[in-house]
Amino acid sequence: MTVRTIPTTPIDDQRPGTSGLRKKTPVFMASPYLENYVQAIFDGIGGVAGQTLVVGGDGRFFNDRAIDVILRMAAANGAAACIVGQGGLLSTPAASHLIRKCKADGGLILSASHNPGGPDADFGLKYNGPNGGPATEAVTEKIFTCTRTITQYRILDADGVNIGIPGQYDLAGMRVDVIDPIADYADLMETLFDFDAIRALFVGGFRMRFDAMHAVTGPYAHEILENRLGAAAGSVVNGTPSPDFGGGHPDPNPIWAKDLMQTMYGTDAPDFGAASDGDGDRNMIVGRNCYVSPSDSLAVLADLAHLAPGYAGGLAGVARSMPTSCAVDRVAKAKGIACFETPTGWKFFGNLLDAGKVTLCGEESAGTGSSHVREKDGLWAVLLWLNILAQTGKSVAALMADHWARYGRNYYSRHDYEEVDTDPANALMEQLRAALPALPGQEFAGLTVERADEFSYDDPVDGSSSTQQGIRIFFTNGARVVFRLSGTGTAGATLRVYLERLETAADALAQDAQEALADVIAAADQIAGIRRLTGRDAPDVIT
Ligand code: VG1
Ligand code: CO
């Protein structure tokens, strides 16, 4: 076995986005695209000599071959050990947990999350640091700089390791531990939640449906929900991971998890429905005839987390990404705990969690999590909901009605315009930016602008600052619109428009969100000229 040093040159487009580097699969597969980026990660973090790394992914097309390259490169760069999920599988939260539990130096997670997978779909890779969380902006910037200056990469010229069989292997002096990807994560969940109470719920006839969307959470959900908690066999559907997610879009929202929505709104619906995304860090919660928006889910969990053993002592504080609705802020205020507002992306929660300032975090994009790992965690959210349902004995719909009656309802929706040409998308943002100073006082669709700005964030822990994180328009009636461009797409630009309005009148809490937000939606279009600039009549996806 020889270590080969292969000369290479920088590849232009290796700037990581909201969550690692995502590109079309054929781009990643065309050597040396992957090799360059992996070497840039290693160089960007100051080398991996003597380090232990966790490696795993969501099982999408190219997962196994990419892991083979990563292992041979880690060995050639002098890493001491790699811990790999059997078959190359690790959900993102399970990988985060393993990094922390094994006191590893970091990890490489192979996923493009909710983006489709397959030979012509999307692939992705991200680096997580020793706290188990996504690399900070500073580390990400160093990695990007290395992609611009790379001259060579190191790789072992040898057969790799058979990651299909658990065990300990030697790869030219680097230890490779192929481990059960599920056991440690499932054990962690048992420490946080009252499994006896949830088991009793199922014994009492409670029925649920968990849609794993042919992605990585299937085996985790089978083990935790069916084997350990006693949910009826068949409660987990689409539970076998497939390289192209069964040809679907593993994004847990009412559009892509349509089957689940139909079941939950149909006759003989189960009591509780949930779904997760490609890499297992997102969650969708839906009760019988009751879809729970992710922002509302975060607020309910913040309100009632103390009903689960892991959070019985209360919460240190909460955090949400800026475009997430302000529902959780109202809960934090009532509880007298801090509420932080961060830019989009889980990497911004890491410092707050590490510093013990917050216990729970969430994003409007179906991500919720806590200090138990440093990623959002789909199954964790499902289990916390189950624990709350078991303790209160109430239905999802009743819990939501209680919540809105007490705190008011933040009607909320996100409109996505996907694969818009980059030029008009950038022009739209530029025009908005330029218009900001003149907006206050102006009226759009009957709503008057109170203030408007572009969000920037000063991290209260490390003092770093992140600018241009979304344009915000606040109206005098308390409504809000946020505009930003996605940082996870692989083709063109995706414009996200986040719409919100608080309602406290007791007789107005049960409206359809699109109807309740009609004037805010109209104002957003007037202000940004969405139809005019994108040429689109309507959003591609409404969540
Ligand atoms: C999207 C979501 C964001 C989330 C990110 C990664 O980013 O909006 O909230 O953190 O995806 O989630 P963007 O830049 O496209 O809006 V995942 O489950 O794709 O790792
Ligand atoms: Co994800």
Read off the tokens for 397. Answer: 């719909």
Q: What is the mean pLDDT of residues 326-338?
A: 98
Task: Answer whether 344's CB lies under 8 Å from 137's CB.
Answer: no
- Are residues 250 and 359 both part of a single domain? yes
pLDDT interval class at 490 (50, 70, 90): confident
pLDDT given at position 178: 98
- Are residues 390 and 455 both part of a single domain? no
Domain span holding position 499 = 409-542
Residue of 365, 376, 455, 543 best suited for mutating to test ligand 1, as the one with most atoms within 8 Å of CB: 365
- Are residues 395 and 259 both part of a single domain? yes
Model-level ipTM above the cut of 0.95: yes
Please tell me the distance from the alpha carbon of residue 323 to that of residue 472, in angstroms, as a whole number: 9
- Are residues 402 and 419 both part of a single domain? no
Q: Pick the closest to residue 228 from 271, 188, 272, 285 (CA basis).
A: 188
Q: Is 377 a residue whose pLDDT tops 80? A: yes
- Are residues 193 and 102 both part of a single domain? no
- Are residues 204 and 350 both part of a single domain? yes
Chosen domain end from 161, 180, 199: 180
Q: What is the mean pLDDT of residues 216-229?
A: 98
CATH classification at residue 129: 3.40.120.10
pLDDT given at position 63: 97
> What positions carry a catalytic annotation?
113
- Are residues 137 and 234 both part of a single domain? no
Sheet strands (E) in 203-327: 208-211, 236-237, 272-276, 283-287, 290-292, 317-321
Task: Report DSSP state, residue 61.
Answer: T
Q: What is the mean pLDDT of residues 238-243?
A: 96
Which of the ligands is closest to the CA of residue 541? Answer: 1
- Are residues 347 and 225 both part of a single domain? yes
Please tell me the distance from the alpha carbon of residue 115 to that of residue 255, in angstroms, as a whole number: 14
CATH classification at residue 447: 3.30.310.50
Please tell me the distance from the alpha carbon of residue 373 to that of residue 94, in angstroms, as a whole number: 8
pLDDT given at position 534: 87
- Are residues 368 and 446 both part of a single domain? no
CA of 382 to the centre of ligand 2 (A): 15
Q: Whose CA is nearest to atom 18 of ligand 1?
A: 113
- Are residues 416 and 507 both part of a single domain? yes
- Are residues 368 and 220 both part of a single domain? yes
Chosen domain end from 180, 203, 218: 180
Kindly report the pTM of this predicted structure: 0.95
Q: Which atom of ligand 1 is nearest to the CA of 484?
A: 16
Task: Answer whether 8's CB lies under 8 Å from 153's CB.
Answer: yes
Residue of 344, 485, 486, 496 best suited for mutating to test ligand 1, as the one with most atoms within 8 Å of CB: 344
Chosen domain end from 148, 180, 212: 180
pLDDT given at position 492: 87
- Are residues 345 and 444 both part of a single domain? no
**Rounded to the nearest 10 degrees, what angle do helices 378-392 and 396-407 cross at?**
90
**What total of structural domains would you count in the chain?**
3
**3-state DSSP call for residue 198?**
helix
pLDDT given at position 491: 82
CA of 93 to the centre of ligand 2 (A): 9
